[in-house]
Structure 1
Amino acid sequence: MALLPVRLLALLSLVSLAFPGPAVAETARLSVDDAVRIAVERNLGLQAETFNPAIAATDIRRARSIYDPTLSAFFDHRGGNMQIGPASPVVDRTRFFDANASLDQLLPTGATASAAFTNLWSKDNLGLSTSRFAEPELTLSLSQPLLKGIGKRVTERGITTADDAMELSLAAWNQKALDTASEARNRFLTLVKARESLATRKASLAVTRQVHEENEGRVKAGVLAAFQLQDSELGVLLREKDLLDAELAERDAADQLRLTLHLPPGTVLELSDTSWTDVPDPSEEEAFGIALRRRPDLSNARTSLRTAEFNEEISRNLALPSLALEGSAGVAGIAPEYGNAFDDMRSGKNPNWAVGLRFSVPLGNLAARADVAAARLKASQARVGVAVLEESAGLEIRTALRALETRRKQDEVARKGVSVAETRLASFLKRGKLGLSTTKDVLDAEANLTQARENLSGARADFQSALTSLWKSTGELLDRHGVQFDGSAIASKTRKGTP
C-alpha cells in the first residue's frame, strides 16, 4: 500500500506531460507613443512601401551611369590571295591585322570626348617597298552641342528625374506612415475609452447591487414595499447586460489594437495612464506653415511640379535644331616594322586635325513642338494641383482647430456633469436610506451618473481624436510621438545584402 502514493504521483506526472496547461500569455505594457512606434515599425503595408524608395535608389545609380566611360576594342585579322593579272603567274598574297581601341566619355556640358588608337599592320609577297608596313595612329576628338543638348541640366535630366522619383517615393512612404500612426493612435484611444466604459459599468453594477441588497434587508424588516425590490432587481439585470456589452466592446477594441500593432492574439495589453494629453492650440497660420513643411502630399505635389517645370525647360531645349562643334587632332606613324612605326608616331611628324560644324533639324519639327506643348500643359496642371492641395490642407486645418476647440469645451462640460451627477446620486442614496426617495429615483440618479461618466469618456476620446486629426493635417503626428526616420535609411533598408 505504501507504493500507491508513488504510483499516483507518477500517473499525475504523465498526465501533466500529455496535457500541458495553458501557455502564459505575453504582456505588453504600452503608452500611446509605444503604440504609434510599434505600428510604424511592424506594419506590413508600410514594409512593402519601403521597397519603392529602395527601387528608386537603384534608378538613381542607373541614371548616374551616363558618366561611366565606355571602352571599345576591335581586333581583326584578314587576308586574301589574288592573281595580279589574267595571264600572270604571280599571286598577290595580302595579310592585314587591325588592333583598335577607343575610350569615350560624356561631359556635363553635353560634349562627348573620345580617345582612339588604331593600329593597322599589312604585308604581301610582292617584294615592294609598301609590301610590309605598320600604321599606328592616336586621335583625340570632341563633339560639343551648341543648341540642342547643351548644358549640365539637359545632360543630367535622367539623374534629376530619378532624384525627384526618390523624393516622390519617400513622400508616399511618409504618407503611409502617417496613416498608420493615425490608425494606431485612434485604436489605442478607443481601447482606453472602452476600458473606462468598462470600469464605469462595473461601478454602476456595484452600486445597483448594493441598493438591491439594502432593499432586501428593508423588505425583510417590513420597512420597504416589496415592489421596490423588483425595481432594484431589474436595475441589477440591466446593469449586468450593460457590463456584458462593455466587456465585449473592450475585447473587440483590444483585438483591433493587437492587430494594428501585429501582436500575438493572446497578448495582454497594459496601457499606461499618460494617454490623455493636451497642448496649446496653434494659430491657423502656424499650423498651415507646419503643414507646408511637413505634409507628405504637399511635398509630393511640389516635387511633381518641380519635375513638370524641369521637363518643360528640357523639352524647349530638345526642340532646338541640332548644332555641334566637332574637332579632332591626332598623330600617325608609318614604317615597315612596329617599333619604327611607333617611333615615327611619337616624333609627331605626321599630325592630322579637323574642325567643323554639324547641323540637322527635322523639317517642321512637329514632334518636338508637341512635346513642348504637352510639357507646358503638364506644368500648368501641376501648379493647379499644388494650389488645390494647399486649399484642401487649409480646410482640414481649420476644421481640426474648430473641432479641437469644441471638444475641449465639451470635456469641461462633461467633467462638471460628472461632478453634479455624483453629488445628486449621493443625495438620493442618503434620502433613500431615510425613506425619502424611491428605488427608481436612486436607480435613475445612478443611471444619470453612469451616462455622465460615459459622456466624459466620450469627450476625452473625441478631444484626442481631434488632436490626431490636427497633427495628421499638419503632418507632424509622427514627430509628436517621437517617431523619426532618415530617408536614406528607408531607401537602403530593403537592400541589405545587395551590392
Structure 2
Amino acid sequence: MNSQNYRIDVSQKFVSGTEIRLGAGTSTAQIPAIVGEPSSDIRFYNADTTLTLSQPLLRGLGPGVARRGLSSAELRRTDAGRQQALVEQQVTLAVASAYYHIVAQQALVDVARQSLERARRLREASEARLDAGLVSQLDVLRAQQLVTQAEIQFFDAESAADDARDRLRSLVGRDMSTPFNVATDIPRPGQEHVEADAAVAIALPNRLDLKSLVASGADAERQVSFAKNQLLPQFDVNVAYTRRQTADSFVHSFGVDRFQLATFFTIAMPVDRTPQLVDYQNALIERDRRKREIATLQRRIADDVKHAIRERDRLVRGLAAAENSVDIARKEVEVAQLRYERGLSNNLDVVTAEGNLLGAQSRRIQVLADSAMAGLSLRAVLGILNPRNLELGISNLECGTSSVEYGPRSRE
C-alpha cells in the first residue's frame, strides 16, 4: 500500500505537427508519524492530470515532416502493387510465348507429316519406275534419303512439341501428366500503322516501371524537404491545462476542478549539426540521381517502343513474304512432280522442291507465331497489356473428368 502507482497516458499527433497529450494518474505516499506506531502515519495520494498541446514552429512543422514515415509506407505499398502488375505481365508474356510455341510446333508436326507422306509416295514411285527401267538406281537412293530426312524432321518436330507442352504445363501450374488440347490457329497480326511518336506518348504515362521511378523521385524530393527541416532549431510552443494536488483517497484524486493553465516555450539547438548536414547532402544526391534515372528510363522506353514497332512491322512484311514463298514452293513441287512423271527430268528436282517447300512452310509458321508474340510484346512495351483481359484464353483442359483447351479468344 506504500508504493502504488496508477496512470494512463494518451497522445495524438496531427499532420500539422501538432501533438496533444493527456495524462492522468495518482500514486500513494505517506509521512511517518511516531516511530513504532504505524497506525499514526499520514497516508495520501499525489494526483496529476495534465492536458498538453504542443505546436512546433520551426523543426517538425508541416505535414511533410509529420507524415514522413506514413508517406514512405504508402509509397512502398503502391510500389508493391506495381511490381505485382509487372510480374503478372511477365508471366503473361511467358505463357503466351509457350502457347504460341506449342501451336507452331503442332503446325510443324503437321507439315513434317505431310512432307513424309509425299516423300514415301515419291520413293514408291521411284521404285516402280526403276522396276520398269525408266529411272536409275540413283533416283531410288535419292527418294530413300528424302524419306529418311523427312522422318528425322518429323520426330524432331514431335519432340519439340512435347517439350513445349511441358513448359506450358509448368507455367500454368498443371501436373506434368495432365493432357490438354491446343487450338491450332494463330491470330494474324493487325495491319494498322502505329506512329512512333504517338506510341511513345502512350507508353510514358502507362509504363509501370516509370511510374515507380517517378514516385521514388517524388519521395526523394520529400526527403530533401524533411532533411532541410531537420536543420532548423527546435522551437515549440506548449499549452498545458493541469491539475496537481494531494488527495486523501483514490476517488478524490480525479476531478474537473482546480485546473490551472500554463504556457511555455521549448527551444533546442544542437551544437554539432554534422549528422543533419550529412543527411541533407545525401538527400540532395539521391534526388539528383533519381532525376537522372527517370530521364534515362524515358529515353530507353522511347527506344524500346520504336524497336518494338519496327520489329512488328518487319514480321508483318516477313509474313507476307513467307506466304508468297510457300505459294511459289508449292508450284515448284507441282512442276517438278509433273516433269518427273512425264520423264522430262529425274527426281532430283522433286527432292529439291520438297525441301524448299518444307523450309518455306516452317518459316511461315515461325514468322506467324513471332508476329503474334510481337503484338503482345508491343502492348507490354506500351504499358497497356492487361493480363486479366487477354486474347489468349483457357478452356476445355482435360484433367481427370474435366477438360481444358488453350486457344485464342477474340482479338481486340
What is the TM-score normalised by the length of structure 1?
0.71
Q: Which has the larger radius of gyration?
A: 1
Q: What pairs with 1:244-283 in structure 2 (closer than 5 Å)?
A: 244-279=155-190, 280-283=192-195
Relative distance call for 1:270 and 1:281 in structure 2 (3 A) is farther
Alignment-derived partner of residue 120 in structure 2: 209
What is the aligned counterpart of 1:313 among 205, 208, 225?
225
Map 1:387-426 to 2 at 5 A. 387-426=295-334
Partner of 2:2, secondary structure, is: strand
Q: Which residue of 2 aligns with 1:116?
A: 23
- Distance of aligned partners of 1:268 and 1:134 in 2 relative to their CA distance in 1, 3 Å threshold: closer
Where does residue 107 of structure 1 map in the other structure? 14
1:452 positional shift: 1.2
Instruction: State how far apart, in whole Å, the 2-side matches of 1:371 and 1:140 are.
Output: 35
Matched pairs, number: 384
Q: Is the 8 A contact 1:119 1:136 kept in 2?
A: yes
**What letter is aligned with 2:390?**
H
Pair 1:460-2:385 in alignment: no
The answer on 1:322 being equivalent to 2:234 is yes
Structure 1 residue 478 corresponds to structure 2 residue 389: no
**In 1, are the aligned partners of 2:189 and 2:316 still within 8 Å (CA)?**
no
- Give 1:39's aligned residue: none
Give the letter for the 1:307 counterpart: D
CA distance in 2, matches of 1:364, 1:339: 49
**CA–CA distance in 2 between the matches of 1:153 and 1:392?**
32
One-letter amino acid of the structure 2 residue matched with residue 180 of structure 1: V
172, 179, 186: which is aligned to 2:97?
Answer: 186
Kept in 1, the 8 Å contact 2:103–2:185? The answer is: no
State the AA in 2 paired with 1:164: L
1:163 Cα deviation from its structure 2 partner: 0.6
Match of 1:429 in 2: 337
How far 1:214 moved relative to its partner?
1.8
1:469 to 2:380 alignment: no
Distance in 2 (alpha carbons) for counterparts of 1:303 and 1:456: 44
Residue 118 (structure 1) shift: 4.1
- Structure 2 unpaired stretches of 5+: 35-40, 393-412
Q: How far 1:152 moved relative to its partner?
A: 2.3
Q: Secondary structure at the match of 1:435?
A: coil
Q: Does 1:77 align with 2:2?
A: yes
Residue in 1 aligned with 2:406?
A: none
Structure 1 pair 321–210 and aligned structure 2 pair: CA distance change class (3 A): same
Deviates more, 1:326-335 or 1:417-426: 326-335
SS in structure 2 of the partner of residue 264 of structure 1: coil
Identify if the C-alpha distance between structure 1 residues 447 and 101 changes in structure 2 by more than 3 Å, giving closer, same or farther: closer
Q: Any idea what the Cα deviations from partners look like across 1:273-293, whole Å, max 9, x if unmatched?
A: 443242334322332233223
Task: Spell out the pairing of 1:26-65 with structure 2 (5 A cutoff).
Answer: none
Matches within 5 A, 1:135-214: 136-214=47-125
Mapped partners of 1:135, 1:239: distance in 2: 102
Task: Give the partner amino acid of 1:317.
Answer: N
Structure 1 residue 135 displacement after superposition: 5.9
Asked if the contact 1:326/1:357 (under 8 Å) is kept, the reply is yes
d(CA) in 1 for partners of 2:345, 2:359: 21
In structure 1, runs of 5+ residues without a counterpart are 1-75, 79-96, 484-499
1:309 shift after superposition: 1.0
For residues 337 and 406 of structure 1, do their structure 2 counterparts lie closer, same or farther at Cα, with a shift above 3 Å needed? closer
Instruction: Please say if 1:301 is aligned against 2:213.
Output: yes
Matching of residues 364-379 of structure 1 within 5 Å: 364-379=272-287
CA distance in 2, matches of 1:391, 1:341: 70
Q: Note closer, same or farther for the CA distance 1:391–1:108 as it changes in structure 2 (3 Å cut).
A: same
CA contact (8 A) 1:182 1:477 kept: no
How far did 1:370 drift? 1.6
- Counterparts of 1:469 and 1:222, CA distance in 2: 58
Q: What is the deviation of 1:190?
A: 1.8
Counterpart of 2:353? 445
The answer to whether the aligner puts 1:382 opposite 2:284 as a matched pair is: no
Change (3 A) 1:165 1:77: same
Contact 2:107 2:184 (8 Å CA) reproduced: no
Moved more, 287-296 or 157-166: 287-296
Deviation at 1:328, TM superposition (A): 1.1
Query: Identity, % of aligned pairs?
Result: 22
Does the 8 A contact of 2:186 with 2:369 survive in 1?
no
> Residue 132 of structure 2: which of 198, 216, 221 is its match?
221
User: Could you say what secondary structure the match of 1:311 adopts?
Assistant: helix
Shift of 1:131: 5.3
- Tell me if structure 2 keeps the 8 A contact 1:77–1:98: no
- Tell me the TM-score normalised to structure 2 length: 0.84
C-alpha change, 1:296 and 1:338, in structure 2 (3 Å) is: closer
